[in-house]
């Protein structure tokens, strides 16, 4: 089961455990024949994701004594590329089920608008899943997801009439000091309340590094002179996963700053950040399920990976 480490979002509204509960409840007669293994996403290190899948499948095969392994799915679009990533296993192609898609069902779940929606969900979801969804729609987490879903829909409508979909350019700052990394808590949607790297959109008349430093200072009030920041630059990298942001195609340029060992400078949230704080690297590595979009993966890529 993919995206096991992702924070709740309109694209991934349910945790790995919740999805496992729905799947097992739908097939009670399967018993031990059905096993669910959560797999963490690695958008910029696909080999680690492939290894995770291989390890999980091989472990299950050894436990059950399975001698036939197949990967079963429908090749719909680019999102189905994983079906061809395991040549060592039998490839079993199946037709699309009733023309359904996960996107359609998520939209229906997060945009409840009366009897029509209920009828579609009742026909599309197995009864245990439908009951789980109905209970979930009563929780505060659902209200937050519904608001964020509406925000993203409205955001996309702003450029729906453009002749070509826009590509947004953003910058992020990965600031490391004395075994700590500098993070902010987002003030507004999308990702309100989630932890993130300091950053934002590139201005029309800015260079990338200048934009990263501007956003860093605006969001954290870090009182380090610009020349010192530029002298502390250790590297930069482009992060261009096409699915990294639900707002639209967003390419970010991340800059890694590292300071000598010493006291941590005072920081304070500003602009789009509700607050700013230094987080120990030990704690940071445990935050993959609490960070906005792919920011955890961006940060760890400069810290030696995972």
Between 271 and 219, name the one with better pLDDT.
Answer: 219
Q: Using alpha carbons, list the distances in angstroms from residue 172 to 138, 169, 209, 237, 247.
A: 36, 10, 9, 10, 17
Q: Which residues contact 33 (CB under 8 A, 6 or more apart)?
A: 64
Per-residue pLDDT at 47:
95
To which H or E segment does residue 182 belong? strand 180-186
pLDDT the model gives residue 66: 87
Query: Looking at residues 136-158, what average pLDDT do you find?
Result: 95
With a threshold of 0.85, does the pTM exceed it?
Answer: yes
Least confident of 58-62, 95-99, 246-250, 289-293: 95-99
From 111, 135, 157, the end of a domain falls on 157
**Do 280 and 180 contact (CB within 8 A), yes or no?**
yes
Please give the C-alpha separations between residue 156 and each of 131, 167, 245, 247, 298, in angstroms, as whole numbers. Answer: 31, 12, 12, 6, 24
Same domain, 50 and 174: no
Q: Is residue 177 part of a domain?
A: yes
Q: Is 26 left (phi over 0), alpha (psi -120 to 50) or beta?
A: alpha
Does residue 5 sit within a domain? no
Instruction: Report how far residue 2's alpha carbon sits from residue 14's, in angstroms, rounded to the nearest whole number.
Output: 12
In a domain, 2, yes or no: no
According to DSSP, residue 139 is labeled: S
Give the least confident one: 143-147, 188-192, 302-306.
Answer: 302-306
> How far apart are alpha carbons 213 and 235 in whole angstroms?
14
Bridge partner residues of 291 (DSSP): 195
Predicted pLDDT at 304? 83
Q: Of 134, 157, 180, which marks where a domain is finished?
A: 157
pLDDT at 247: 95
Instruction: Tell me which of 1 and 81 has the higher pLDDT.
Output: 1
Is residue 176 located within the same domain as residue 149? no
Do residues 122 and 213 both lie within one domain? no
Asked whether residue 87 is domain-assigned, the answer is no
The pLDDT of residue 306 is 63
| 148 shares its domain with 180 | no
pLDDT at 5 over 90: no
How many domains are contained in the chain?
2
Are 184 and 138 within one domain?
Answer: no
Domain boundary among 157, 185, 205: 157
Rounded to 10°, the helix 102-110/115-124 angle is 140
145 occurs within a structural domain: yes
List of residues 6+ apart from 183 with CB closer than 8 A:
195, 196, 197, 198, 276, 277, 278, 279, 284
Report pLDDT for 120. 86
What's the confidence (pLDDT) of residue 112?
Answer: 67
Alpha helices for 139-254 (secondary structure H)? 140-157, 208-220, 226-231
Q: List the Cα angle 207/272/110 in 5-degree steps.
A: 115
Q: Are residues 277 and 151 in the same domain?
A: no
Give the model confidence (pLDDT) of 168-184 as tens digits.
Answer: 999 999 999 999 999 99
Q: For all residues of the chain together, what is the average pLDDT?
A: 94
pLDDT confidence tier of residue 268, bands split at 50, 70 and 90: very high
Asked if 45 and 118 sit in the same domain, the reply is yes
In this model, does residue 43 exceed pLDDT 60? yes
CA angle 273, 274, 279 (to 5 degrees): 80
The residue ranges of DSSP E strands in 75-116, in sequence order, are: 90-93
List the Cα angle 164/165/170 in 5-degree steps. 130
Q: Provide the pLDDT for residue 115.
A: 53
On whether residue 245 sits in a domain, the answer given is yes
**Per-residue confidence at 114, pLDDT binned at 50, 70, 90?**
low
Is the confidence at residue 269, as pLDDT, over 70? yes
11 lies in some domain: no
Is the pLDDT reported for residue 203 higher than 60?
yes
Residue 119 token pair: 């009828």
Cβ atoms of residues 200 and 215 within 8 Å: yes
CA within 13 Å, CB half, 198:
31
Q: Give 9 or 101, the one with higher predicted confidence.
A: 9
Give the structural domain span for 28: 16-65+97-157
- Phi and psi at residue 160, in whole multiples of 5°? -65, -30
Query: Which strand (E) or helix (H) includes residue 297?
Result: helix 295-302
Q: What pLDDT, on a 0 to 100 scale, did the predictor assign at position 77?
A: 77
Same-domain status, 186 and 261: yes
The CATH code of the domain that includes 128 is 3.40.50.620
């Amino acid at each position: 089961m993919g995206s096991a480490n992702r924070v709740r979002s309109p694209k991934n509204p349910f945790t790995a455990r919740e999805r496992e509960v729905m799947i097992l409840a739908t097939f009670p007669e399967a018993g031990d024949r059905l096993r669910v293994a959560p797999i963490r996403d690695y958008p910029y290190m696909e080999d680690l994701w492939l290894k995770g899948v291989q390890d999980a499948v091989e472990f299950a095969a050894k436990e059950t004594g399975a001698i036939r392994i197949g990967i079963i799915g429908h090749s719909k679009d680019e999102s189905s590329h994983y079906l061809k990533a395991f040549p060592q296993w039998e490839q079993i192609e199946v037709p699309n089920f009733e023309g359904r898609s996960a996107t359609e069902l998520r939209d229906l779940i997060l945009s409840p608008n009366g009897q029509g929606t209920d009828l579609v969900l009742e026909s599309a979801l197995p009864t245990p899943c439908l009951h789980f969804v109905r209970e979930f729609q009563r929780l505060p987490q659902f209200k937050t997801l519904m608001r964020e879903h509406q925000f993203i829909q409205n955001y996309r409508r702003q450029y729906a009439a453009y002749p070509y979909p826009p590509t947004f350019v953003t910058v992020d700052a990965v600031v490391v000091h004395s075994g700590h990394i500098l993070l902010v808590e987002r003030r507004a949607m999308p990702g309100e309340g989630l932890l993130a790297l300091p950053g934002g959109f590139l201005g029309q008349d800015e260079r990338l590094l200048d934009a990263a430093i501007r956003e860093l200072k605006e969001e954290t009030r870090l009182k380090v002179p610009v020349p010192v920041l530029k002298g502390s630059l250790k590297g930069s990298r482009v992060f261009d996963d096409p699915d990294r942001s639900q707002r639209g195609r967003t390419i970010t340029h991340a800059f890694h700053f590292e300071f000598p060992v010493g006291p941590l400078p005072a920081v304070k949230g500003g602009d789009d950040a509700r607050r700013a704080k230094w987080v120990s690297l030990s704690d940071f590595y445990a935050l993959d399920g609490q960070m906005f979009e792919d920011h955890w993966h961006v940060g760890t890529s400069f810290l030696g990976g995972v």
